[in-house]
Chains A and B, each alone.
Chain A
Amino acid sequence: MAEIATPVAPSVVPAPSWREGELILQNACPTGDLEKRWTRHKDNLRLVAPHNKRKLEIIVVGAGLAGASAAATLGELGYRVKVFVYHNSPRRAHSIAAQGGINAAKNYRNDGDSIWRLFYDTIKGGDFRARESNVYRLAEVSVKIIDHCVAQGIPFAREYGGYLDTRSFGGAQLMRTFYARGQTGQQLLLGAYAALQRQVELGNVQVFYNHELLDVVVEEGKAKGVIVRNLITGQISRVAAHAVVLATGGYGNAYYLSTNAKMSNATAIWRAHRRGAYFGNPSFVQIHPTCIPQSGDYQSKLTLMSESLRNDGRVWVPRKKGDTRPPHETPDSERWYYLEEWYPAFGNLVPRDIASRAAKRVCDMGYGVGPTGRAVYLDFSDAIRRFGREVIYQRYGNLFEMYEEITGESPWETPMRIYPAVHYTMGGLWVDYNLMTNIEGLYAIGEANFSDHGANRLGASALMQGLADGYFILPYTIGHYLATQLTQKLSTDTAAFADAEKETRQRIGNLLNTKGTRTVDEFHRELGKILWDQCGLARNAEGLRTAMSQIRELRERYWKEVKVVGTNEGFNQTLEKALRVADFLELGELMIIDAYHREESCGCHLREEYQTEEGEALRNDKDYAYVAAWQWQGEKEPPVLHKEPLTFEFVKPTVRSYK
């Protein structure tokens, strides 16, 4: 056990603690040739006959890229699907905001791309903390995603000859990213949404709007259904199904300020975790390098500027500390293009974790710009000179406009100021190769699971993974389980349902009856600050210990001092928020424990104690080449750590170098 003697008074600051559990040796991964694994696995999966599919009910929670594509495809197959979304339309999930693009190993550019290379880039980008089988499968199906999306009528960018255009993206030396201007996520989501609406029209799928999942019902290790709250009427209902799919996205909003949508939350996966589902690598949080810096306390969210900007933008700070000249007056010789200097091979296109940390490093060194000194320049003047305004407008017009709207400054005249912000969570519910959690019949897809990105996700891979899971993986693998459930009668009249409903009502009652004085947002901001300071771009044991006790204390205060007005009966956005923040407070603790226990640096996870002299992550493959899958033990109990060893048969974990 990795307990370190603490230099600070241990009685005041309890160290994050956990119990060691069993190794996870069953992950349903096939063996043998990497290229044939998925094909062979599919061939070995049980099938459900068409007439039986009609008898099987599946609940899908969330309708982002993963949820909508899964629900639509399951509907096409003939299953009876119920989709629950807390939005007022399935088209509003936050996948819609993804800007840059989607990777696929099409090799349309003839630049030497292949499934292998996409696989390798992804696993290396994730700093060798993902499963080979999963990542290879992801690269394999990436090809079909593009085909399908084009057939759906998604207006990808094209060249004059009428063929698909691609561009390069961080972490890759190839141009394999397909895009639809700066709104790729929107276009892909609307494609999946449209496919879903088609199934609604055909009667295969029912979509319940304004319904939020508040608990997962588990009986004898199997998922039996969910408890949902109708956000408009406040009605709490039990819904039974043969399988439950969680596609509820990531938990970046634990940090309060992130690029996530305001309603994005961890409640679904956290409730599943509390019901026994393992949580994989909770501290693996991607901090995106190119966001608009924070400008005040009132701020409700941070806005991402697509990573694609780094294709043509050059990142720099003045060579002189505290240089307050307007950027265009700084001559080229006095600009420090630190990414190009430190990482000549990839330059401005290093992976996100590296770019983010580099920005933090130069700002910590005192070179930061802007009023807060926590920003670096992203400069397009060279690109505008080289390609002309027209070309740059074609590529980034909408992003430039967005930046100007928000900041009041025009990137045509002055460089953008950017700073890293919480963006994506690689961690999530632990799933096996079939995307099933350790609870049978409970699946997690898209950002909600931990699977494919290891310790760092490459740009344009989230869309790929969400759609791979939803269109091409889950629809096969779920049948393998459902084939065993044909004789199961659905009932919500069981003790497990009754308990879950009772607990949910209690939780709501407790929040409404607290009658404290502080708003939910005040607590959320505090939590966010603790996590950002101690479990953000860089972490260390001491800071994590402090954070642990701070979060504990904050959580206790929350249940005493929070003020939630209104009632359960009816539309109550404060109550919704209060329930979500309550779960973030528990999840925050697990994130801290996970970050604390992993005594190495890898990908997004930089432990300051473990870095090279140059400030690069120092991985420890001997002790930490595993997935940390955490099991809930109770609010006061330390969690149990199950390790799933990662074996690399086809790639050799190397020091990730982008120099």
Chain B
Amino acid sequence: MTLRILAFGVAKEIVGGRSVTLELNETPTIAALSDMLQIRYPQLKALASYRLAVNNEFASATDVLHEKDEIAIIPPVSGG
């Protein structure tokens, strides 16, 4: 399954762009995607934290992804 992932803030610099496309072969859960992202972009592990969002909502590790989902890497927020 091909997934397009948006990146913001420091994550944009880590992945080298506003979005990245990944191929996920196993059961496409948030946990599997997170593992794959960390292998491909080890600098993600150096962040204070980060979360993944699916269709504009914070996602849980067991959530299953679909090809059309809007996925985003959410590094620690710092608005206000």
Do A and B belong to a common assembly?
Answer: no
Seen from chain A, the residues whose Cβ lies within 8 Å of a Cβ on chain B are none
Seen from chain B, the residues whose Cβ lies within 8 Å of a Cβ on chain A are none
